[in-house]
Structure 1
């Protein structure tokens, strides 16, 4: 099956560009409720899989052994802004582990917080690894590695941490991963089908109906994300704004190259979305449209509208166009 139209770019009376991709919505039983494009398309979910990567941290007992809070768990699932809030909390986490910035394998990344980035530039201060948007996930990996008595190279695909992540990933997606790519933060990112990723998000959404340790871990991670949307992304970011704006508890997570997932616990539904050309503007628009379609968000809410039908302005501030979700996402 081919990709389906997900979003259009309008300029004046013309459709100037189109973004196609795949969407799958699954229910608590893993069945497909609705799909656009190809449910069997094999994808790399990138950072949208972070709550899956954090499962072994909780289900192993490592999180409780270290006294991790909901804030820690939200950071373990985060692609954060590298704002002072995030940097301070991850730094404190590392300190509690008896580790420093150099223990992280994610690489340094400039803060995406404009004020902090400007201060660091003016002070000629280079970015650290803790500023990396994945540093919370990596602090979680380090916590799990210590709990398992494993070595420091936790991003090695053969390391005990990544073997635990792969096992959890295959469990919740319901299929053997065909392989992995190395993510921007140096950790393996396991591939699955669109159907598999939506099934995993529905598994998280319905975890409260089950009593096994893995499901209990999923409940804690979802609750942490919903309780701390500011830690999952940051001020002005789509995940944070739309989680706050939703009319019911929803956990949202973006990933690089046009990926987005949603976990809707009250409905037992999971959504996986991939824009084929990797455009974030389209994935944000499409996920907003799907939340509205399902009744989990109000199209008129300012922080939904800003992604659902955002204006496009030129350098002089004139409105020259807009992004629109494909009509099929609403009907």
Structure 2
């Protein structure tokens, strides 16, 4: 049964039947012009929902917000240590990066050290999202490569795991041992079976879960102890790598990078179609956000507001202001409106 067939047998992601809530408002002339609806869940170390808006049971695709879960088998299998991977490589395994040299160069070295190259990827080429890198590639009459794909770090992790276990070349196939190991880890940390999967932009399967399942997984990352089980140790390594190298997880000017720099030890990760997750080790809390219409401006506003609500982000920090309460201007530079969290999100 493929992912499409499974989808027809289960609740669709963030379906209209889900009771979403207004999370973000867009104003103009002092009035609310439009709203973004969605779901937000905070779980504690026990997996209990301690706060929510919308429907905690809404089933979603976590998209790239779950890359740290997808990286668990890389460490737990021993593949990461066998390949000599350090915090930078682990951060890149969790990244949705810009394709700048700071991202592609270390990933290229990572692959080369294992006798692998761009041709071994199954993620597809992507024009670099980093503008200077993109422009330099155009001027040189170069072509986009798979190493420029924003998921190339995650796929380098897949390739490393695959080489370690001796799997076939189609490591992105849902029935491949690499993806089966990821599915097992995903279901274990979310605490529930995944009802279906979809194929992500980078060709790998993306396993669905509930909002609570995703927040529960992040809480388990937050509560993991360095002296704990093999899984806990892997979780600690990944969350610490992300927090220590925010520039590798996303890139300059990106929300993940700037917001992590404004906090102490908190790891956050965006995903396509309005998803965001956060790992708060100090509070042992996990956060999941999904904007129903898939809008990035709304997911960034919502996650920033929740991080402020939970006391880990200073609302006056430039990175917080930029995402949580940005001013809207017209083409003459006049202030005409704003984006703001809904009152229920602020508490």
Shorter-chain TM-score tier: over 0.9
1:257 maps onto 2:287 in alignment: no
Structure-2 residue corresponding to 1:154: 171
Unaligned runs of 5+ in 1: none
Deviation at 1:35, TM superposition (A): 0.6
* Alignment of structure 1 residues 184-263 onto 2, 5 Å: 184-208=201-225, 211-246=228-263, 248-263=264-279
Cα distance in 1 between the residues matched to 2:227 and 2:342: 36
Structure-2 residue corresponding to 1:73: 90
Deviation at 1:315, TM superposition (A): 2.5
Deviation at 1:209, TM superposition (A): 7.0
Deviation at 1:97, TM superposition (A): 1.4
Cα distance in 2 between the residues matched to 1:152 and 1:22: 38
1:32 maps onto 2:29 in alignment: no
1:329 maps onto 2:345 in alignment: yes
Q: Would the aligned equivalents of 2:76 and 2:230 in 1 still touch at CA under 8 Å?
A: yes
* Alignment of structure 1 residues 1-331 onto 2, 5 Å: 2-208=19-225, 211-246=228-263, 248-331=264-347
Cα distance in 1 between the residues matched to 2:122 and 2:326: 36
Deviation at 1:99, TM superposition (A): 1.2
Q: Would the aligned equivalents of 2:226 and 2:236 in 1 still touch at CA under 8 Å?
A: no
Cα distance in 1 between the residues matched to 2:99 and 2:329: 27
Tell me whether 89-98 or 36-45 shows the greater mean CA deviation.
89-98
What's the TM-score, normalizing by structure 1?
Answer: 0.98
What's the TM-score, normalizing by structure 2?
Answer: 0.94
Cα distance in 1 between the residues matched to 2:153 and 2:336: 39
Deviation at 1:118, TM superposition (A): 1.0
Cα distance in 1 between the residues matched to 2:103 and 2:53: 36
Deviation at 1:317, TM superposition (A): 2.5
Deviation at 1:259, TM superposition (A): 0.1
Aligned length, in residue pairs: 330
Q: Would the aligned equivalents of 2:226 and 2:233 in 1 still touch at CA under 8 Å?
A: no
Deviations 1:104-138 (A, max 9, x none): 11111111111111111122211110000000000
Cα distance in 2 between the residues matched to 1:309 and 1:11: 13
Cα distance in 2 between the residues matched to 1:101 and 1:316: 45
Q: Secondary structure of 1:208's match?
A: coil
Unaligned runs of 5+ in 2: 1-17
Cα distance in 2 between the residues matched to 1:42 and 1:267: 26
Deviation at 1:316, TM superposition (A): 2.7
Deviations 1:203-247 (A, max 9, x none): 00001176211111111000100110000000000000000012x
Tell me whether 250-259 or 112-121 shows the greater mean CA deviation.
112-121
Deviations 1:65-85 (A, max 9, x none): 111010000000000111111
The 3 A distance-change label for structure 1 pair 67 and 209 is closer
